[in-house]
Amino acid sequence: MYVFLNDKIVPASEAKISIFDHGFLYGDGVFETMRSYGGVVFKLDEHIQRLFRSARFINLEVGRTPEEIKKALYKTLNANDLTDSYIRVSLSRGYGPIGIDPDLCKENTFTIITTEFKRYPDSFYLEGVDAIISNIRRNPKEALNPLIKSMNFLNNILAKIEAKKKQAFEAIMLNMEGYIAEGTVSNIFFVKDSSLYTPSLECSILDGITRGVVIELAKKRGIGVQEGKYIAEELLKADEIFLTNTSLEMVPVKRVNDTEFKVGEIYKLLHEEYKVEVKTYVNEKKL
Ligand code: PLP
């Protein structure tokens, strides 16, 4: 396996970074996860834009142009002979002495890891996954804004630990005001009376790229979409619930705590549309 480290492709076994890297010492860095289909990275521009935005939020110079990052990414995919892949791009503050002052680091660390995409079990899509409402609240945007896709992921990891203890796949976090925010690695949607609801960007969430695609697809289909503030009781009364992220695409939720849900028609329709959207995108980029 080959990875990209700073400015070149290297065998994964030789890709080493310092234990003084501030990404390791302090979680001081940002990242993106992407997915490629048939050799094309879906919504690549959007992911790269979000990487730059995350970096801007933490005052971190990317030090490369979007074009250079795209080239590096495709180079890594080609080196590994990958078409359907999972991609992780990371950018940390880099090597520096101990101490949190970002100016201690003179050069950032940039890595790209690509691995073969492992499909989730069919049961995820046909039957759904279990979720809990987590006791861990989502970081408020006034503290560590979830719009920053940061390496500082402990908020999400704590909720994931809770989900695992309760044999659930995903933990749905509320924000500090008590409104539904998002999952540990996903955005959440629910359907009530044929309309689609999802927490607004005001709710301390990541503006998921999949979330954006799903909202557009629903609008095109004439399905009403509301972005707002919702409490857990509203979620529990939903007709259907589903989660979105880049690698899962869209997955229905069959249980939240003790309440069961069916895999609904709107989920099925929108996931079919999502797959068509991916195909169209991939075919256009291949031309
Ligand atoms: N919310 C969080 C906290 C995430 O980590 C992710 C993705 O990993 C998402 C939402 C979904 O974002 P996207 O659709 O861009 O993958």
Mean model confidence pLDDT for the chain: 98
CB 172 within 8 A of CB 183: yes
Q: Which pLDDT score is estimated for 183?
A: 98
pLDDT of residue 47: 98
pLDDT score for 170: 98
**Structure confidence at residue 287 as a pLDDT band (50, 70, 90):** confident
Residue 241 has pLDDT above 90, yes or no: yes
Q: 149 catalytic, yes or no?
A: yes
pTM of the model: 0.98
* pLDDT tens sequence across 166-189: 999 999 999 999 999 999 999 999
CATH number attached to the domain at 122-282: 3.20.10.10
- Beta-carbon-side half-sphere exposure of residue 211 (alpha carbons within 13 Å): 22
pLDDT digits (tens, 9 = 90+) for 26-76: 999 999 999 999 999 999 999 999 999 999 999 999 999 999 999 999 999
DSSP label at residue 28: -
Distances (CA, A) of 214 to 50, 189, 245, 249: 18, 9, 10, 9
Identify the active-site residue in 149, 160, 254, 268: 149
Looking from the CA of residue 46, the nearest atom of ligand 1 is: 15
The residue type found at 115 is T
Per-residue pLDDT of 84-129, as tens digits, reads 999 999 999 999 999 999 999 999 999 999 999 999 999 999 999 9
User: Pocket of ligand 1, candidates 137, 158, 175, 245: which has the most ligand atoms within 8 Å of its Cβ, to mutate?
Assistant: 245
CA of 184 to the centre of ligand 1 (A): 8
Could you tell me what percentage of the chain is helix, strand and coil, using 3-state DSSP and rounding each to the nearest 5? 35, 30, 35
Return the structure tokens found at 280. 């169209």
**Given a cut of 90, is residue 157 above it in pLDDT?**
yes
Dihedral over alpha carbons 112, 116, 117, 120 (to 10 degrees)? -130
Residue with the nearest Cα to atom 7 of ligand 1? 185
Extents of the domains making up the chain: 2-116, 122-282
2-116: CATH, from 3.90.1150.10, 3.40.718.10, 3.30.470.10, 3.40.1710.10 = 3.30.470.10
Burial class of 220 by CB neighbour count within 10 A (0 to 12, 13 to 18, 19+): exposed
CA of 98 to the centre of ligand 1 (A): 31
